[in-house]
Amino acid sequence: MAAINIQVSETPLVLYTLRRADDALILGHRLSEWCGHAPMLEEDMALANMGLDLLGQARELYSYAAKVEGRGNDEDKFAYLRDVRQYRNLLLLEQPNGDFARTMVRQFFYAAFADLYWRAMMRSTDATLAAIAAKSEKESAYHVRHCSEWIVRLGDGTEESHRRTQGAVDELWAFTGEMFEVDDSERGLIDGGIAIDPATLRPQWLKTVSDIVREATLVLPDNNWMQQGGRSGRHSEHLGHLLSELQSMQRTFPGATW
Amino acid sequence: MYTQALNTSEGDDRHIEDATRAAQFQARIDADERIEPNDWMPAAYRKTLTRQISQHAHSEIVGMLPEGNWIARAPSLRRKAALLAKVQDECGHGLYLYAAAETLGSSREELVDAMLAGKAKYSSIFNYPTLTWADIGTIGWLVDGAAIMNQIPLCRCSYGPYARAMIRVCKEESFHQRQGFEIMLTLCRGTDEQKAMAQDALNRWWWPVLMMFGPPDQVSQHSDTSTKWKIKRFSNDELRQKFVDATVPQAQFLGLTIPDPGMKQNANGNWEYSAIDWDEFKQVLAGNGPCNRDRLAARRKAHEDGAWVREAAMAYAEKRRQRSALQAAE
């Protein structure tokens, strides 16, 4: 009944699945914050679309994590009753929306990765993850296309849009390295054929990103210092505020069904 | 979605250009033919429809705000996804209504500018705040329910593009309405606190929802022309009564009390409701509702903050055009 945080037994597969679920939820939530406030109605539609795709992915992944864990947790308990330190998403995805350029660059960096990642995960020996990957890959492919078009338009648009987009690239670049990191917990799953090694995707990701960035007349920063910590619950200050809003109902009315 | 309350009379500024054409036009309407964008139409018909359709579009877009207010705080992932999808639907309705209005010769930009300048109206219901999660259920159940009552007749409206847009809109609205009712049902079967939340929301929304149908028939300035042109097929009071009669049993099923102690069922089975406070309606229309300023400010902010994005898209399109022209010349 109480609205205290749930306990999660983070076996490698549970932890793995929660990390991806948290990625999808947090980014989906961020995109949903745009709803009604986008630069044009077409983008209100598109941002909501992408947000819905991600929320859908999050729900499937949480449900699978709950099933694997087998301790009576469910999608809503995972989403609403874990605190900042229990969240496992990439730092990139919790970064605030900022202006439209920043939202698009964030989405582009991630989608260009997610598309490759889910495509590779379709070969997972875990049938559920392979099925989720197949669906997510289709969605990510659209996200990449949509964001790429915007990055080019904004980068090669006006002086102002160029400046804003370059600024977003510079600001967010340091959060991209974390996508390719693997810890011991995940290493075992990779060895077992359940997960794939994201590090192998980095050259292709870099090529996709570099090509679009070049077409957009932008440049990638040469600073390669990368932030990390999200996968083990060391987040930016932004996540706590996001969660306080996301979780407010469940925290205020413990145990109620909605 | 919610235009009934917004129709204002064209009155005397009708200029029927040509008696023969006007007669032919009216004959087509009387024969239940659809008027299409390239057909001749009286200027006043065009003007009335442009105003009605664009107000309807503005209502969809402003209507995204009160519900959008709860997307981040939706109490479960299922509700969050459903609400985001719903608000997205409303945006889609806005888009195709602007497109329908554009077939009459006004651009979306012009129409939106008029709204942002405070010159064009949108439905007053969106000038009320969404304070609790139950407001989201109530908006779906009652506001969308009232909208459907208004819109079903519009599916047979004489102007083709509007009528066709309404068919699609109504399908989605009835889905939203069921979804809203289901939220209410869940609350009413929940804890005492949840049930109280549902009752409180009904108390706050009931009267403003009844106002959505517009002023009572005896004082309504609605032109006969809208009826003659088959844009409007039922009077405000007829639709309001239909709505009340449909809603009372639903409230009873939920175990909620309609905040009208004087309400009683007459011999014909109609539920007679007490006097509506039309002063409140006038105040909200005049800009003095609890959220008028916030709504307009939010839309203006989105528009202004997005200006550089739209400019960039235009500039890029222009560059591309020039580049391909250059390539073609080589």
**Residue A190, domain CATH:** 1.20.1260.10
Residue B284 within any structural domain of the chain: no
In a domain, A1, yes or no: no
Choose from B115, B191, B316, B320 for mutation: most chain A CBs within 10 A.
Answer: B316
Same domain, B149 and B11: yes
A-chain residues within 8 Å CB-CB of B312? 153-154, 157-158, 160-161
CB atoms within 10 A of CB B64: 28
The encoded tokens of residue A246 equal 């996301």
Answer yes or no: is pLDDT of B5 > 50: no
Count of structural domains, chain A: 1
Q: Is the separation of the CB atoms in A132 and A57 below 8 Å?
A: yes
Which chain B residues contact residue A48 at CB under 8 A? 84-85, 87-88, 91
Q: Which chain A residues contact residue B95 at CB under 8 A? A: 41-42, 45
The interface residues of chain B toward chain A in range 16-75, judged by CB-CB distance below 8 A, are 61, 64-65, 68, 71-75
Decide if A100 is inside a domain: yes
Write out chain A residues lying below 8 Å of B91, CB-based: 35-36, 41, 44-45, 48
For residue B146, give how far its alpha carbon lies from the nearest alpha carbon of chain A (Å).
22
In-domain check, residue A147:
yes
Does the residue A226 lie in any domain? yes
Which residues from B are below 8 Å from A55, CB to CB? 77, 80-81, 84
Look at residue B8 in the predicted model and tell me its pLDDT: 43
Mean pLDDT of chain B: 93
- A250, A3 in Cβ contact below 8 A? yes
pLDDT band at B3 (very low <50, low <70, confident <90, very high): very low
Query: Quick one: B207 exposed, middle or buried, by C-beta within 10 A (0-12, 13-18, 19+)?
Result: middle
Domain holding B232, by residue range, is: 3-276
* CB contact (8 A) between residue A157 and residue B312: yes
With respect to residue B283, please indicate whether it lies within any of the assigned structural domains: no
CA-derived radius of gyration, chain A: 18
Query: What does the pLDDT read at residue B13?
Result: 43
* Beta-carbon separation of A32 and B84 below 8 A: yes
Q: How far is A187 from chain B (nearest CA, A)?
A: 30
User: Could you tell me if B150 and B294 lie in one domain?
Assistant: no
Compute the nearest-CA separation of A205 from chain B (Å). 25
Of the candidates A194, A59, A184, A66, the one whose C-alpha atom is nearest the C-alpha of residue A124 is A194
Contact map slice: B 84-103 vs A, CB within 8 A = 84-85, 87-88, 91-92, 94-95, 98
Q: Is the pLDDT of residue B267 over 60?
A: yes
DSSP letters of B29-71?
HHTTPPB-TTS---HHHHHHHHHHHHHHHHHHHHTHHHHHTTT
Per-residue pLDDT, A181: 97
Residue B213, helix vs strand vs coil: coil
pLDDT attached to residue B163 = 96
Dmax (CA) of chain A: 55
Residues B171 and B22 in one domain: yes
Q: How far is B86 from chain A (nearest CA, A)?
A: 10
Contact (CB<8Å) A59/B64:
no
Residue B281 lies in a domain: no
Please tell me the predicted confidence (pLDDT) of residue B223. Answer: 62
B220 lies in the same domain as B305: no
Work out whether strand B271-272 and strand B264-265 pair parallel, antiparallel, or are unpaired.
antiparallel
Is residue A258, in this structure, part of any structural domain at all?
no
Q: What is the pLDDT of residue B221?
A: 63
A258 with B302: Cβ contact below 8 A: no
Q: How confident is the model at residue B14 (pLDDT cuts 50, 70, 90)?
A: very low
Residue B305: pLDDT over 80: yes
Same domain? For B189 and B304 the reply is no
Chain A contacts in chain B segment 142-181 (CB below 8 A): none
Q: Which residues of A touch B87 (CB under 8 A)?
A: 35-36, 48
Q: How far is B266 from chain A (nearest CA, A)?
A: 36
Which residues from chain A sit within 8 angstroms of residue B135, using beta carbons? none
Question: What is the C-alpha to C-alpha distance for residues A115 and B78, in angstroms, rounded to an integer?
Answer: 25
Does A5 fall in a domain? no
**Number of domain units in chain B:** 2
State pLDDT tens for residues B124-162.
999 999 999 999 999 999 999 999 999 999 999 999 999
Same domain, yes or no, for B254 and B318?
Answer: no
Q: For the segment B176-232, what is each residue's pLDDT rounded down to a tens digit?
A: 999 999 999 999 999 999 999 999 999 999 999 999 999 999 887 656 789 999 999
- Out of A45, A76, A248, the one facing B76 most closely (by C-beta) is A76
B79 contacts chain A (CB < 8 A): yes
Residues B60 and B133 in one domain: yes
pLDDT along chain A (258 residues), means of 10: 83 98 98 98 98 98 98 97 98 98 98 98 98 98 98 98 98 98 97 98 98 98 94 98 98 95
pLDDT at residue B9, rounded to an integer? 45
Task: List the CATH number of the domain containing B41.
Answer: 1.20.1260.10
Query: What's the CA gap between B91 and A176, in Å, rounded?
Result: 32
B298 touching chain A per CB within 8 A: yes
| DSSP codes, chain A | ---SPPP----HHHHHHHHHHHHHHHHHHHHHTTTT-SSSHHHHHHHHHHHHHHHHHHHHHHHHHHHHH-SS--HHHHHHS--GGG----HHHHS---SHHHHHHHHHHHHHHHHHHHHHHTT-SSHHHHHHHHHHHHHHHHHHHHHHHHHHHHHTS-HHHHHHHHHHHHHHGGGSGGGG---HHHHHHHHTTSS--GGGGHHHHHHHHHHHHHHTT----S-------GGGT---THHHHHHHHHTHHHHHSTT---
Do B70 and B114 belong together in one domain?
A: yes
pLDDT at A2: 53
Chain A touched by B301 (CB under 8 Å) = yes
| pLDDT value for B7 | 43
Each residue of B42-55: pLDDT tens digit? Answer: 999 999 999 999 99
Domain that holds residue A163: 12-252
Is A158 within 8 Å of B312 when comparing Cβ atoms? yes
Does residue B294 share a domain with residue B174? no
* A39: chain B residues, CB-CB within 8 Å: 302, 305-307, 309-310
Clarify whether residues B298 and B187 are in a common domain: no
Structure confidence at residue A148 (pLDDT): 98
Flag whether B190 is in a domain.
yes
Same domain? B82 vs B131: yes
ipTM above 0.90, yes or no: yes
Note the pLDDT of residue B222: 58
Whether residue B294 sits in one domain with residue B158: no
